Amino acid sequence: MTGADSGAFGVYVHWPFCLSKCPYCDFNSHVRHAPIDEARYARAFAREIETTAARIPGRQVTSIFLGGGTPSLMQPETVGAILDAIARHWRVAPGAEVTLEANPTSVEATRFAGYRTAGVNRVSLGVQALDDESLSALGRLHTAREALDAVAIARRAFDRYSFDLIYARPGQTPAMWAGELQRAISEAAEHLSLYQLTIEEGTPFFGLHAAGRLRTPDEATARALYDVTQEVCAAGGLPAYEISNHARPGAECQHNLVYWRGEEYAGIGPGAHARLDIDRDRHAISNEKRPKAWLMRVEARGNGVVTDDILNSEERGDEFLLMGLRLAEGIDPQRYTALSGRALDPDRIAMLREEGAITVDACGRLRVTQTGFPVLDAVVADLAA
Ligand SMILES: C[S@@+](CC[C@H](N)C(=O)[O-])C[C@H]1O[C@@H](n2cnc3c(N)ncnc32)[C@H](O)[C@@H]1O
Ligand code: SF4
């Protein structure tokens, strides 16, 4: 099924700039000391939207996600210009979810009303921790008070908002995390993203960790922290619908579901990725990551694409498993067969069921269990082998 006939089609737009680089982060984000020419970037975004829409005409956009980097550094007019360009080149479904990722500083919160006027209807705030000591250890530029004030401003400006926390931080115990989570749930209306701290190669945290100067929780503690996350969130009415995402039923992030369900999405901006269905083929597309180089490419040829590969059936099957098994709703093995041209191995399914890592329901849907989620990569590798 293509994005065009399944009904879901997302547009991701990447704003690649931040005020400072957090020591754990390996996203495509850059710090610039000179002012950024937002009008020039807005023109390039509009141009790339135009050329992308020309490749896949007739889609109806069901979700838009402005991610980063720090999109809340953009002026509301820039956000408005990007959303207008999307609406000029595609039909946007009534009530489409339009999310903007925001850092929770007081300066950025002053722009929330302008974003709403521009057409944003959901914000996702990078709160990361609810105490100042942890925030400073994470290299964040905001205090906990400032972040909670930004959450309160978001609550007034938008019907829908979410915030991110990072757990499994150095020195964090399950009891500390349970308390922090309870507080987070009381501040969250409908959605929380809870990411286990990962030590990414090339970041300052990687060097500190390798030198033994940054100690993350051992495996047993990490597992206990994960279990606490599931228990506290489920009891608070925000069960996990994806390995790191929790929502009240019905409040799931529609845009992220597009990725995990293997639907079609466009990627606009430096380093953005896309999956487009063209002539029955699925294209995996990636853009130039460096902002200036992306800008010059778009100005010269209309898009910033550096790789555009057609996925073969094996790759399509692997990607379907990798993304779909992150979801609590699991996958339909028949769709795997249709994409990959082969069925999942019944012996492997039986073995993983016996180990308690997966379940298969009466309709044949396959789901990863609470036991399986902490070792999801191994479960996927087993099924895909
Ligand atoms: C791309 S960031 C953008 C959000 C925004 N710039 C901010 O920092 O508030 C999205 C989220 O990824 C998470 N993240 C980034 N690096 C991470 C890491 N190494 N481990 C765990 N979570 C991480 C953070 O929770 C962050 O809010
Ligand atoms: S975590 Fe957010 S603010 Fe920090 S460097 Fe990454 S994208 Fe920028």
* Segment 139-153, tens digit of pLDDT: 999 999 999 999 999
CA-CA distance, 72 to 353, in Å (whole number)? 45
| pLDDT (0 to 100) of residue 134 | 96
| pLDDT (0 to 100) of residue 106 | 83
| pLDDT (0 to 100) of residue 385 | 86
Is the pLDDT confidence value at 5 over 60? no
Residues belonging to the chain: 385
pTM of the model: 0.96
The two tokens of residue 236 are 């608070």
Is the pLDDT confidence value at 6 over 90? no
Helix, strand or coil, per DSSP, at residue 221: helix
CA-CA distance, 315 to 293, in Å (whole number)? 29
Is the pLDDT confidence value at 108 over 80? yes
Q: Which helix (H) or strand (E) holds 259?
A: helix 254-260
Ligand nearest to the CA of 16: 2
**What backbone torsions phi and psi does residue 113 show, to the nearest 5 degrees?**
-60, -40
- Testing ligand 2's pocket by substitution, the residue of 14, 20, 24, 27 carrying the most ligand atoms inside 8 A of its CB is 27
The mean pLDDT of 90-119, rounded to a whole number, is 95
CA-CA distance, 229 to 104, in Å (whole number)? 23
Residue pair 286/267 in contact by the 8 Å Cβ criterion = yes
Average pLDDT, the chain: 96
| pLDDT (0 to 100) of residue 7 | 86
Give per-residue pLDDT as tens, 293-314. Answer: 999 999 999 999 999 999 999 9
CA-CA distance, 123 to 153, in Å (whole number)? 11
Helix, strand or coil, per DSSP, at residue 118: helix
CA-CA distance, 226 to 177, in Å (whole number)? 10
| pLDDT (0 to 100) of residue 226 | 96
Could you tell me the distance, in angstroms and rounded to a whole number, from the CA of residue 159 to the centre of ligand 1?
Answer: 23
Could you tell me the distance, in angstroms and rounded to a whole number, from the CA of residue 292 to the centre of ligand 1?
Answer: 23
Q: Say yes or no: CB of residue 245 within 6 Å of ligand 1.
A: no
Q: Say yes or no: CB of residue 128 within 6 Å of ligand 1.
A: yes
Give per-residue pLDDT as tens, 168-183. Answer: 999 999 999 999 999 9
Is the pLDDT confidence value at 4 over 80? no
Residue pair 368/330 in contact by the 8 Å Cβ criterion = yes
- Testing ligand 1's pocket by substitution, the residue of 14, 166, 172, 245 carrying the most ligand atoms inside 8 A of its CB is 166
Report the DSSP pairing between strands 17-18 and 60-68: unpaired
Ligand nearest to the CA of 200: 1
The mean pLDDT of 65-90, rounded to a whole number, is 97
Q: Say yes or no: CB of residue 124 within 6 Å of ligand 1.
A: no
Helix, strand or coil, per DSSP, at residue 65: strand
Is the pLDDT confidence value at 232 over 80? yes
The mean pLDDT of 53-66, rounded to a whole number, is 97
Could you tell me the distance, in angstroms and rounded to a whole number, from the CA of residue 126 to the centre of ligand 2?
Answer: 8
The mean pLDDT of 251-275, rounded to a whole number, is 98
Q: Which atom of ligand 1 is nearest to the CA of 103?
A: 9
**One-letter identity of residue 36:** I
The mean pLDDT of 343-348, rounded to a whole number, is 96
CA-CA distance, 187 to 170, in Å (whole number)? 24
Give per-residue pLDDT as tens, 269-300. Answer: 999 999 999 999 999 999 999 999 999 999 99
CA-CA distance, 296 to 275, in Å (whole number)? 23
